[in-house]
Amino acid sequence: MKRILLSVFIAISLCQSTMAQYRNPIIPGFHPDPSICRVGDDYYIVNSSFQYFPGVPIYHSTDLVNWQLIGNVLDRQSQLPLKRATSWQGVYAPTLRYDNGIFYLIVTNVGGGGPTGDGSSGSDNFMVTATDPRGPWSEPIWLEQGGIDPSLYFENGKCYMVSNPDNTITLCQIDPLTGRRLTKSRPLWQGTGGRYPEGPHIYKKDGWYYLLISEGGTELAHRLTIARSKHIEGPYEANPQNPLLTHCSLAGQASQIQGTGHGDLVQAKDSSWWIVFLAYRNYGGSYHHLGRETFMAPVEWPQGQWPIVNGGKPVDTLMNVKVAAATPQSEHRHIHTTFDRPLGPEWVYIQNPDSTAYQMKYGRLRLFPRLSSLTENLRPTFVGRRQESPTFTAETTVDFTQSMPGDNAGLTVYQINDGHIDFCLQPTRNSMTLRVVLTMKNVKATLDEVHLNDTRCTLRVRSDASKYYFDYAVDGKSFKTLSEVDCALMSTEVVGGFTGVVIGMYAAMNRSYGGYGDTYADFDYFDYREE
């Protein structure tokens, strides 16, 4: 009997210490500034979206590992005026919170604040609410306190707002129904001395108010720091072991994962603590082109003590954790989009789209060129989806029969308005030319071209994480490679911006003709496959 009991005890102990695995990032591709919220058994994450419309993607999970896109919070133009926003502007760092049956999302629209949508009314911060995270969400409730990266904290019927005007984490109480400031804004903390103290979140645990912020800028020196106080208004004392998380360190400097910061803590349904945060993955040296992605790490938080992220060790792409194993994540996805139904929430436009430029007809997506090119950045005709894997293939067949010389349409690898690679059909007077055109800062160059005898062609962009390859097939199946381009040329380090690569379909007009013509490009499908 003793031997049996001992065997059972050993078996239980082994089960309890069995390590489960998950892969980082948990939400890959351009998904920065994550904010997480748990309601019962459900978890939700929102991300920044900058110049793209609709804005603020929202994801759902029941196990913290597998995440499904369920919509975009800001899906009406009245909620999100974007004007001529670039990937330096638009929607910054949303925070998602839940209180008494209502979801609250607070966010900054840089350059588009206030009811006028031009930033002339002061603060760029606003709030929207919903009873269902899938929407609909309310019209904007504009807020008085400035700064970026606003957050909310609810306690005892009171709603507090924190943001970072003048590089200082600042607190005020607001009316969550009207947005009116109820108390004077009060400075709380300026961090540990790193530049750009931002991304504040307040939590309460064991009688302490904890203030989590980001410092160092959202680049190599990015880091998370934390302070605490017995009173929400402070004074706050810094964690003597700060930073809470950074890879800009001796331990983290060799990691592919860099720029760790801007996080949000959540307590899981099993009482364990976790943190989601942004970071980026380098490819081909110190370059990242996929954007800042959403990562996750376990947190130890003993009663009355400071939290510790991942045991104080750097975070990895493959994590071993002492939790019950979740459903394995899918490593390779294949999404085939046909144009016989409305586009899903993964599809985005640059700024607020001109609805007259997009039409679904006969099972095709018809794009009408407008006067603005991708580079000119005034609501260009473009629709795309995030590149979410370093190795992928995207394919479409485009018919550009109805076109004028100088018009161009096709696929684009888009990072920012002055950083993109266009794989496009362009008619001349006697033929159709297929070109690969690189736009990079002040450089615009045709890298390769071929003349076709047809106005219809299948275009394919693929990547092996180091290069983009541009393939074409006139017959739809016999592909030839026209050009290859180093992925680093589309990296943040080279062309800038706060986003990541989006693979899209586009059409642009030859400006010399003036006005809108009857030209259009028809796209049969869009196939996206991760390798």
Active site residues: 33, 198
Query: Distance between CA atoms of 239 and 261, rounded to whole angstroms?
Result: 16
The stretches of 448-528 forming alpha helices (DSSP H) are 492-495
Find how far residue 459's CA is from the centre of its chain: 26
Distances in Å between the Cα of 465 and the Cα atoms of 28, 125, 227, 367, 487 are: 14, 37, 39, 30, 7
Q: How far apart are the first and last CA of the chain?
A: 53
The three-class DSSP label of residue 255 is: coil
Residue 362 burial by Cβ neighbours in a 10 Å radius (0-12, 13-18, 19+): exposed
Rounded (10°) CA dihedral 75, 128, 211, 278: 0
- Tell me phi and psi for residue 358, to 5 degrees: -130, 135
Q: Which of 290, 300, 288 shows the shortest CA–CA distance to 255? A: 288
State yes or no: cis peptide before 136, omega within 30 of 0: yes
Which tokens in the block code for residue 397? 């067949």
Query: Distance between CA atoms of 322 and 318, rounded to whole angstroms?
Result: 13
Q: Which of 129, 160, 124 shows the shortest CA–CA distance to 144? A: 124
Q: Which amino acid is at 295?
A: F
Query: Distance between CA atoms of 281 and 214, rounded to whole angstroms?
Result: 19
DSSP characters for 377-438? TSS-EEEEEE--SSEEEEEEEEE--S--TT-EEEEEEEEETTEEEEEEEEE-SSSEEEEEEE
Query: Distance between CA atoms of 530 and 172, rounded to whole angstroms?
Result: 46
Query: Distance between CA atoms of 111 and 18, rounded to whole angstroms?
Result: 50
Let me know: does 341 contact 363? Beta carbons within 8 Å. Answer: no
Q: Apex CA 219: angle with CA 215 and CA 223, to 5°?
A: 35
Query: Distance between CA atoms of 377 and 84, rounded to whole angstroms?
Result: 6
